[in-house]
Amino acid sequence: MCQKELRETMRDRRTIITLVMMPLLVYPLLSMALNRFLVSSTAGTSEQTPYTIGVETDDEGSLLLAWLEDPMSTPPAAILKASKGNLATFRVVNTTSVGLSPKQALQEKKIDLAARIEPGNPPQLRLTAFNGDPASQGAQRILTERLHWLRLARAEALAESQLSDYTPPTDVSVENIGVAEKPSMLGTIVPLVLVLMTITGAVYPAIDLTAGERERGTMESLMASPVPRSYILFSKYVAVVVVALLTAMANLLAMFTTLWAGRLLPLLTGGEDAFPWLAVLQILGLLVLFSGFFAAVLLSLTSFARSFKEAQAYLIPVMLLSLTPGMLSLMPGVTLNGPLAIAPLINIVLLAREVLQGTAQAAPAVITVLSTIGYAAAAIAVASKLFGSDAVSRTSGQSFGAMLKRPTRSTPTPSPQAAALTLALLVPIYYLVSNVLMRIVPELSITWVLLLNAIALVLTFGLIPLAAVVLARCNFSTSYQLATPSPLALLGALLVGLGAWGFAHESFVLAKQMGIGGLDVDRIEKTRQTVEALKVAPAWLLVGTLALAPAVIEELCFRGFLFTALRKVLSPTRVIVTTAVIFGLFHVVTGNMLLIERFVPTTLLGLILGWIAYRTQSVWPGVLMHFTHNALLNLATKYQDKIAFLGEGFENQMHLPATWLIVLTTTTLTGLAVVWFSTRKPQVANSNLATTPA
Amino acid sequence: MLHVDSLTKSFPLDDGVLTAVDDVSFRISPGEVFGLLGPNGAGKTTTMRMILGLLEPDSGYAEVDGVRTATDPMAVKSRLGFVSASDGVYPWLTVREMLLYFADLYAVDATLAEQRCESLADMMDIKHLLDRRAGELSTGQRQRVTLVRGLIHDPPVMLLDEPTRGLDVVGVQTIFDYIDILRRGGKAVVVCTHRLDEAERLCDRFGLLHAGKLKYCGTLNELKEQTGQASLVDIFVDLIRN
Counting residues of chain A whose pLDDT is more than 90, the rounded percentage is 8
For chain A, the average pLDDT equals 78
User: Reduced to 3 states, what is the DSSP secondary structure of residue B10?
Assistant: strand
- Separation between Cα atoms, residue A345 and residue A323, nearest integer Å: 9
pLDDT of residue A554: 92
pLDDT of residue A471: 85
pLDDT of residue A392: 44
pLDDT of residue A620: 92
CA nearest neighbour of A253 among A22, A551, A491: A22
CB atoms within 10 A of CB B211: 17
Asked whether A353 and A194 are in contact (CB, 8 A), the reply is no
pLDDT tier for residue A229 given thresholds of 50, 70 and 90: confident
Best residue in A1, A4, A398 for a mutation probing chain B (most B CBs within 10 Å): A4
Residues 6+ apart with CB under 8 A from A683: none
**Average pLDDT for A123-151:** 89
Nearest to A224 among B75, B82, B91 (CB): B82
Whether residue A225 lies within 8 A of chain B, CB to CB, comes out as yes
Residues of B in contact with A220 (CB under 8 A): 54, 82, 84, 86-87
Per-residue pLDDT at B196 exceeds 90: no
Backbone angles phi, psi at A46, to 5 degrees: -75, 150
User: Cα distance from A577 to chain B (closest Cα, Å)?
Assistant: 29
Query: Does A4 sit within 8 Å of B87, measured CB to CB?
Result: no
pLDDT of residue A77: 78
Per-residue pLDDT at A514 exceeds 60: yes
Tens-place pLDDT, residues A635-680:
877 776 666 555 554 545 567 777 888 888 898 889 999 888 888 6
DSSP letters along A248-289, please? HHHHHHHHHHHHHHTT-HHHHHSS--S--HHHHHHHHHHHHH
Q: Would you kindly state where each structural domain of chain B is located, as residue ranges? A: 1-79+156-169+182-242, 82-154
Closest chain B CA to residue A691:
B71
Query: Does B90 sit within 8 Å of A224, measured CB to CB?
Result: no
Q: Name the DSSP letter for residue A474.
A: B
For chain B, the average pLDDT equals 86
pLDDT of residue A178: 64
Tens-place pLDDT, residues B92-140:
889 999 999 999 999 999 899 999 889 888 888 888 889 999 888 888 8
Q: Which of the residue ranges A399-403, A533-537, B50-54 would you say has the lowest mean pLDDT?
A: A399-403
Q: Which of the residue ranges A308-312, A333-337, B117-121, B145-149 would you say has the lowest mean pLDDT?
A: A333-337
Query: Does A12 sit within 8 Å of B92, measured CB to CB?
Result: yes
Whether residue A218 lies within 8 A of chain B, CB to CB, comes out as yes
Distances, alpha carbon A1 to alpha carbons B88, B105, B148, in Å: 18, 8, 20
CA–chain centroid gap for B213, Å, is 19
Whether residue B74 lies within 8 A of chain A, CB to CB, comes out as yes
Per-residue pLDDT at A114 exceeds 90: yes
Maximum separation of any 2 CA atoms in chain B, in Å: 56
- Region of B4 (left: φ > 0; alpha: ψ -120 to 50; beta: rest) is beta
Q: Which of the residue ranges A127-136, A472-481, B8-17, B212-221 would you say has the lowest mean pLDDT?
A: B8-17
Asked whether A494 and A592 are in contact (CB, 8 A), the reply is no
Residues of A in contact with B11 (CB under 8 A): 394, 396
Query: Does B86 sit within 8 Å of A221, measured CB to CB?
Result: no
Closest chain B CA to residue A214:
B88
Strand partners, B67: B64
The more confident residue out of B108 and A310 is: B108
pLDDT of residue B240: 76
CA nearest neighbour of A194 among A274, A291, A56: A291
Whether residue B77 lies within 8 A of chain A, CB to CB, comes out as yes
Q: Which of the residue ranges A385-399, A579-593, B198-212 would you say has the lowest mean pLDDT?
A: A385-399
Per-residue pLDDT at A358 exceeds 50: yes
pLDDT of residue A31: 67
Per-residue pLDDT at A516 exceeds 60: no
The more confident residue out of A77 and A227 is: A227
Q: Which of the residue ranges A110-114, A267-271, B94-98 would you say has the lowest mean pLDDT?
A: A267-271
Asked whether A344 and A251 are in contact (CB, 8 A), the reply is no
Tens-place pLDDT, residues B22-32:
999 999 999 89
User: Cα distance from A389 to chain B (closest Cα, Å)?
Assistant: 8
Nearest to A216 among B52, B56, B88 (CB): B88
Question: What domains does chain A contain, in order, with CATH numbers?
Answer: 1-42+182-397 (no CATH), 51-162 (3.40.190), 418-694 (no CATH)
**CB-based burial of residue B203 (10 Å sphere; 0-12 exposed, 13-18 middle, 19+ buried)?**
buried
Residues 6+ apart with CB under 8 A from A430: A460, A461, A586, A589
Whether residue A228 lies within 8 A of chain B, CB to CB, comes out as yes
Closest chain B CA to residue A15:
B92
Residues of A in contact with B107 (CB under 8 A): 226
CATH hierarchy code of domain B1-79+156-169+182-242: 3.40.50.300
Asked whether B141 and B113 are in contact (CB, 8 A), the reply is no
pLDDT of residue A388: 65
Q: What is the ipTM of this complex?
A: 0.88
Backbone angles phi, psi at B69, to 5 degrees: -60, -40
Per-residue pLDDT at A546 exceeds 70: yes
pLDDT tier for residue A88 given thresholds of 50, 70 and 90: confident
Residues 6+ apart with CB under 8 A from A469: A414, A476, A479, A480, A561
pLDDT of residue A584: 86
pLDDT tier for residue A592 given thresholds of 50, 70 and 90: low
